[in-house]
Structure 1
Amino acid sequence: MSIDGTAVAWYAVICGVLSALAPSFGGRAVRIAIGGIVGILAATLLPIVKGLAGL
């Protein structure tokens, strides 16, 4: 099994940004919902970003 370095870097950036901003969000439920939305958007946008980058 090989690891896709692009996916690892992409999710590292997304999770890093989310964790940096998380304390300023509301309660736990709001942070979980925002994390889910960000995860869905990241998973949806990754193929587009990879296509534009020619990877």
Structure 2
Amino acid sequence: MDPVALGFYAVICGLLSLAAPSLGRPFLRLGIGALVGIIAAAVLPMLKSAMGL
């Protein structure tokens, strides 16, 4: 796996896990997690090109 992607998703998941208990019921947390994952996957290519990677 690409080290940049691994680090990026580790940071995103770590931050989401800090907020998870306060986000409500399990299905709401699942939806929020899916939305954050989609956004993170869309943003990563832009960040990589901005960093020249």
Q: Deviations over 1:19-50 (max 9, x none)?
A: 00000111001000000000000000000000
Unaligned runs of 5+ in 1: none
Report the counterpart of residue 27 of structure 1 in structure 2: 25
Gap regions ≥5 residues in structure 2: none
Runs of 4+ displaced beyond 4 Å? none
- Higher helix fraction: Structure 1 or Structure 2? 2
Give the total of aligned pairs.
Answer: 53
Equivalent of 2:45 in 19, 27, 47:
47
Report the aligned-residue RMSD. 0.4
Identity %: 51
In the superposition, the TM-score normalised over structure 1's length comes to 0.94
Taking structure 2 as the reference length, what is the TM-score of the superposition? 0.97
